[in-house]
Structure 1
């Protein structure tokens, strides 16, 4: 640690500090404190502010604004180093060759369970998680509990949450037999129902929608368990006067896709999803605007580039759900050609595939081929030396994972099936190990163990969890099974560093396209095995008692295996 004097130039006051200083940067999705040695000088380009620490809340007394470029936080220190037994790591049968897709799907679902907010169900399988944010409320007291925490933090950002939900449902509907064949059908229904229930709560009246819960600047100054949070968590409401066609449209898409998925299972529940979807689409289409203009606090985190793609995506899903031509007309009216990548902010690639599925119009097929041409070798997207299609350094794996789902869905429609399936397999296999390591926590060879994820880094209660857990060199205390990290740089370099939020954070939107693409590959594997007359293995998920037995006794978890032709 550094002995130094900080000079607060604006007040001309010297403050003696005997600490290393953590800088919490609220910009660029700023969920990353960076530790650095303080130089011995008396000028500071960034004004240091050291707020009082009370119960691990390090934002007390700070003014409510969003223009602090750097906020130093001095965490409390402790010497407590409890040792806890490892969590469950269910063994799966070794695949005949390649990677075990069923295991990756199962563990990805566990990651979404680890991200749950609100009151957890009795069958909660993430034993180090408990009830949290149970006081989340709307402006008029509406119940906003539930939903998913976005990433390693505890903000409920509605835009990426809805985008992840739609991507998961799209993959579920396209590759449903893969979930059936791995015994994960009910797990997947349970997975997607969690955010769908939350979206209905967030839509209390026809022209009102809560797009976010939690102040990201306050939230990102806290490193601890979600169960221990006691900071004020504001909610952010959209109305006709403060529109948000992007997030509202994306949520309508998720609910419409949810209707299609749940209709054969629970028609009454599905009908309620469809009611919300239609009302939200009307809201998004009638009162147009970007949600990040209406909610400025989100601009540094998930700002929107536009909303016509979400209106197209939502209308296409509603056309699939209802067959009403007005939705096809709306989708085509809002459709714009060209796609940078399928992501939480961009839906044109997925909408193009869905419109081709629904209409069989040649123009959509040609547009799919144009979009994919950019992603194939020789196109505009760069490649790493080991073969990852590299669109962007921040969360590089998410874009190629999402586009792998796009490619597999297009291949199912007969659009260059051999080429697109091989490309999608190459991208997903890179993430599972072909890039030299696994990028999926708790899966495969040399997976990350220090993700930028607060709750999994914390020791079990009642041990304290503070910024010292962020800065520790040891792996996270709990294995965040199934989470896909951001990924390597353009040279395939990756460092398993908790401080690196660009490459080593996890988010719900990273996993959505990844899990869907893995399900698509699993279905292809099953069809190949069936054609060769080989038995397929269906795996039932472990019970809560089995998982707790593993954590208690550190014994292997035996999965139930059913063999069928």
Structure 2
């Protein structure tokens, strides 16, 4: 007999998001199977199992994935799903787990805190998303899983057979360079379909850094394979974009055309321009950031796929040399990018950042010499005000402190984190507020960086103060929820007074982007790492 609770996290006209909380009495080592039966046809989104069979869009049978086949005795298995297409919780009439009934239509309605000791479930409903906790702490592993699902939602190109996002398909399969080079793959930046190389490289570096230093967190949460695949989706694309030693494609797609559209990328029919940087039209910031991403990724894959890691390092070296020898801002060479991801801080921080990552990946002292030269030339010892896709100064300081343990670098990192904790603007509820655009992104980035500082013994104590379907323009104006659920995306966030409203036309607070999630996800991995350490 399984103690079970059906928890309804969200409900809207025509659909709901829920979870079956199933208490496991005896250890399951050979996998599991769950069957859901509805009294009408529904559309179902499930991420924790693979669909085995479906009958009349009413009966669904799912089997475990490789990573969650074993369930420990005494644990609670939370089988989450989203049902839509004109359905409500009462339309779920019964469910079975490993052949045993765990839900019937006669089950009574209960509050979220109630459970039942029978084989039947109780129904639990809430008006907001349920917060899952483990041992009194946040379930960081679940956050990692959802953030990685967001990245999978942003994939361009030919999707793999194990694609977990049911509403995404192959897209932009005709993306080509100016001479017909294959530029398929990579990630769409945000709500548009542009592949902006600069922020793509930046978020990839951060994902790789988090995967490298907090591998235990990803392993514990069953997400190590998925984060490696997320990183590889970027690095495979970067290798394609590096078409010759001194040619690199930095953008595919026109930002103006894309921002004027509200439709699916799978339905896009317009030609897609591609822009590259060359010796005559340099892009040191873009090239150096991509080199940093490839060098960091080479460390991630060094043990699991050494051949691939070597390939990444070859491209990283070449791109760094290209960036350092032929200098210039990429946004001057690709004017279309300047209106969306202009390189405001210049390229000096990326040159230092790239050299630091190559030092980390190779141990070659020539790269340390280069970092020191860039430090002097571009005044990288200054105190930065943020850590973002544009300004990597704080990251250079932190990485060099970790690699060299030199007091000068450590002091710069400590000064930065002290500024963030003690002096940086905060909202009334305590959110560090560095910019109105992507407030949560900026807070997550500095959280990750200061977790990294704690790794090397800088300010390790807590510093938490007490708190004071249709896809067109008609859907844009529809006040209801989105027909496709974009799981795991970090939105822009509230204003300086903690005000937030869920409105599509307020893109400052509600837009999502791939660089928003990178520092956030890596910070969460760091928090789980420390939770595992106790």
Shorter-normalised TM range: 0.7 to 0.9
Distance in 1 (CA, whole Å) between partners of 2:439 and 2:518 is 14
After TM superposition, give the deviation of residue 97 of structure 1 in Å.
Answer: 1.4
2:415 maps to what in 1?
370
Superposed, which structure 2 residues align to 1:156-235 within 5 Å?
156-235=195-274
Aligned equivalents of 1:295 and 1:327: distance in 2?
28
What residue in structure 2 maps to residue 506 of structure 1? 512
RMSD after superposition: 1.6
How far apart in 1 are the matches of 2:140 and 2:411? 31
1:494 aligned to 475, 478, 500, which one? 500
Q: Does 1:342 align with 2:300?
A: no
Corresponding residue number in structure 1 for 2:526: 520
| Corresponding residue number in structure 1 for 2:331 | 292
**Is 1:387 the equivalent of 2:345?**
no
Match of 1:307 in 2: 347
**Distance of 2:452 and 2:300 partners within structure 1:** 16
The corresponding residue for 1:127 is: 166
Q: Secondary structure at the match of 1:389?
A: coil
- Indicate yes or no: 2:299 matched with 1:260: yes
Q: Does 1:87 align with 2:45?
A: yes
Deviation at 1:339, TM superposition (A): 1.2
* CA apart distance, 1:287: 0.4
Instruction: Report the counterpart of residue 366 of structure 2 in structure 1.
Output: 326
Instruction: Report how far residue 87 of structure 1 moved.
Output: 2.5
Measure, in 1, the Cα distance between the counterparts of 2:414 and 2:280: 40
Cross-structure match for 1:482: 488
Measure how far apart 1:96 and its partner are.
Answer: 1.8
Given the alignment, which residue of 435, 452, 463 partners 1:409? 452
Q: Is the CA contact (8 Å cut-off) linking 1:250 and 1:313 kept in structure 2?
A: yes
Deviation at 1:241, TM superposition (A): 0.5
Once the two structures are TM-superposed, the CA of residue 383 in structure 1 deviates from its matched residue by: 0.5
Instruction: Compute the displacement of 1:98 (Å).
Output: 3.2
> For residues 455 and 530 of structure 2, what CA distance do their matches in structure 1 show?
10
**Could you tell me which residue of structure 2 aligns to residue 241 of structure 1?**
280
Q: What secondary structure does 1:210 align onto?
A: strand
- Gaps in structure 2 of 5+ consecutive residues: 1-40, 49-77, 80-131
The residue number in structure 1 matching 2:396 is 351
Q: CA deviation at 1:373?
A: 2.1
* Worse-superposed segment, 91-100 or 145-154: 91-100
DSSP 3-state at the match of 1:212:
strand
Following superposition, which runs of at least 4 residues in structure 1 exceed 6 angstroms of deviation? none
- Residues 230-259 of structure 1 deviation map (CA, whole Å, 9 limit, x = unaligned): 111100010011000001100000000011
Q: Deviations over 1:265-298 (max 9, x none)?
A: 1111111000000000000000000011111111
Distance 1:320 1:465 in 2: 45
Cα distance, 1:465 vs structure 2 = 2.8
Measure, in 1, the Cα distance between the counterparts of 2:233 and 2:452.
Answer: 25
What's the offset of the Cα at 1:331? 1.2
Q: CA offset at residue 89 of structure 1? A: 6.4
**Equivalents in 1 of 2:251, 2:371: separation in Å?**
26
Any idea what the Cα deviations from partners look like across 1:400-449, whole Å, max 9, x if unmatched? 10001100011000111114xx45xx8xxx9xxx99xxxxxxxxxxxxxx
The Cα offsets for residues 306-344 of structure 1, whole Å up to 9 and x where unpaired, read as 011100110000011111111111112112122121100
- 2:141 is aligned with 1:115: no
* Separation (CA, whole Å) in 2 of partners of 1:97 and 1:502: 33
- Distance in 2 (CA, whole Å) between partners of 1:328 and 1:205 is 26
**Alpha-carbon offset, residue 466 of structure 1:** 1.5
Name the CA distance, whole Å, in 1 between partners of 2:196 and 2:399. 25
Indicate the SS of the match to 2:384: coil
- C-alpha distance in 1, partners of 2:371/2:239? 23
Give, in whole Å, the separation in 2 of the partners of 1:198 and 1:186.
18
Whether the 8 Å CA contact 1:243–1:290 is kept in 2: the answer is yes
Hey, what's the Cα distance between the residues in 2 that align with 1:287 and 1:111?
36
SS state at 2:45 partner:
coil
Question: Separation in 2 of the partners of 1:300 and 1:207?
Answer: 25
- Structure 2 CA distance for aligned equivalents of residues 271 and 121 of structure 1: 24
Tell me how far 1:86 sits from its aligned partner: 5.0
Aligned pair partner of 1:96 in 100, 112, 135? 135
> Could you tell me whether the CA contact under 8 Å between 1:86 and 1:478 is conserved in 2?
no
Instruction: Say which structure is richer in strand.
Output: 2
TM-score (norm 2): 0.74
- CA contact under 8 A between 2:242 and 2:249: conserved in structure 1? yes
TM norm structure 1:
0.70
Greater mean alpha carbon deviation, residues 337-346 or residues 117-126:
337-346
Q: In 2, Cα distance between the equivalents of 1:264 and 1:128? A: 34
Aligned mates of 1:366, 1:94 — CA distance in 2: 36
CA distance in 2, matches of 1:357, 1:370: 15
Change (3 A) 1:84 1:375: farther
CA distance in 2, matches of 1:89, 1:204: 36
Q: Provide, for residues 129-164 of structure 1, a one-character-per-residue CA deviation record: whole Å limited to 9, x for no partner.
A: 000000000011110000000001100000110000
Do the aligned partners of 2:144 and 2:525 also contact (CA within 8 Å) in 1?
A: yes
Q: For 1:490 and 1:200, how far apart are their aligned partners in 2?
A: 40
- The question of whether the paired residues in 1 share the 8 Å contact of 2:444 and 2:523 is answered with yes
Q: Helix, strand or coil: the match of 1:237?
A: strand
Structure 1: tracts of 5 or more residues without a match = 1-82, 436-458, 529-565
